[in-house]
Structure 1
């Protein structure tokens, strides 16, 4: 006979949502997240952020290091009245002494949300299998949805001439990274133009281009994968990312030889883009490799606004994915528990 659970948490929540990829959300849902971002950013400007994560915790699993993802989630939880726990592989038994499934079940009993930045899709998928709280993908080599939310919001903030996202074309300079893949799919959903500009060997896999094309068929978006640097001439947004990542150090020299100097974002290259175009970069920037410091510090660069908006995005994510499951105790219930506990303590 299976014993009934004595958990104090509300397990198996109805309509539980996770954030794995922006492809899983409708344009309306993404717009709702960004509208929430705008409210929270204004509240931060006024030093008046509502405590919408009060008494809650986010368990943050980091298999891969990050400046922006870690700091933004920790600060977001604090600003909203909650708490963030940093959990590296050396701090917990993830996939070692304890299975990923069991880790997910335990964290679900103690935390209100799980954020994972992993070195493999398998780790994220294992957490998703058993989680009974929302799981947020902080990057898993396939997708980077939290970055996408910050990117879209930053682009919208800097459109000053009345155009919509669907009026824009974005050029991604470089390798078919998780950021490139995520941008392509997100742009396609919004009906934007998207171009990956890079050497043929490092262009996006056909299966993902095909999926983006299906979104374009509905939205009116445009996808182009090319090695022609001059394709930047038609673009309103230019996006940079590293030509190699931590798991690709053994390929570093080969990759740099393939990408440099043609695909480096320089001030001269930006001059070829549409007038008024903006430069984004997910950072960290190797400013002697994929982008020059001059371009990064130019008046058309919004890379550091973009970085700050990682915090804006994480605040919205923590609220968006937990607010439906909030249980607010009545004053009477709080008073009843307080009286019982204080009465017990007075007798000790």
Structure 2
């Protein structure tokens, strides 16, 4: 267990269908692979389990973190400290804590849990399926009979006894799962052995990608931005960059682009999917576009209380110290975002709104801060200042 405690939760979508928001309080337990939501706390559950064996401690929801994404969702609720977890199965879940500092702690713990999962795996469901298939071999079946092996969804309870199965079989499955979770290798060990490698486009180092593309701005970034700007209806789309695109389609494009199938971008007609891909690209970089060593310096420039020209000079010094690839890519992105604001009467995306979206996406600290909520607010102010003073800061 990595983290546990009470959070408010509500579903936005399930199986691709929108659900009316209904906030409830749940006891949330974060593990390496799953996010469990219970109606009762662990103390109540342990008392109930000790008193009876009726299985009342089953989670009301189990979220598979493999392939999931997490992002802040302040625009989707008037509450404070709201963030969204989206899964490959089409579930979009809002989690919230009135204590914004605690919400940031939860956000970072879940984000780290997601990042530790190997992106190339087919998920825990397939592993469970294979275990059940192995167990079924023990029972010889006649040629005239047919059998169906149940495929467990991420929200099903593994402790439940299926019709016609024995308690021993369920215990055996549970033991195998427990051993697998304990013995599975870490991402660091897989990297050292050369098994786990960077993806060709997503999740790599910006300098390496630019070197491969033969440009100081990644080919993916250029193509996506050009496609967005190619249609005026895209630029006028309500809540562009704020609204979330279809997660499964975003992941499909990610996999295709990593196989250099660029044609997948040309046939995508949902602007929110394209913007979601662009945000995901910057979030997945091995090092943020504004590198970690410059994080504190950028916050200091934000907190500077002196004359505005001096503050702009400090921002210019930070930008000038960026590697060429980072400088050109940041400049290319900010030029695009300024074009987005030209249609603010239609898309309702002002500079401050774009800064909220891209603040945590373009920069983050190398280590966890003691005041994450304050740092996150200042990250937004850095991006807002870069957009407001673009022509005074970028003058190469």
Taking structure 2 as the reference length, the TM-score comes to 0.22
Who wins on radius of gyration, i.e. which is larger?
2
RCO (CA 8 Å, sep 6+): is it higher in 1 or 2? 1
Taking structure 1 as the reference length, the TM-score comes to 0.24
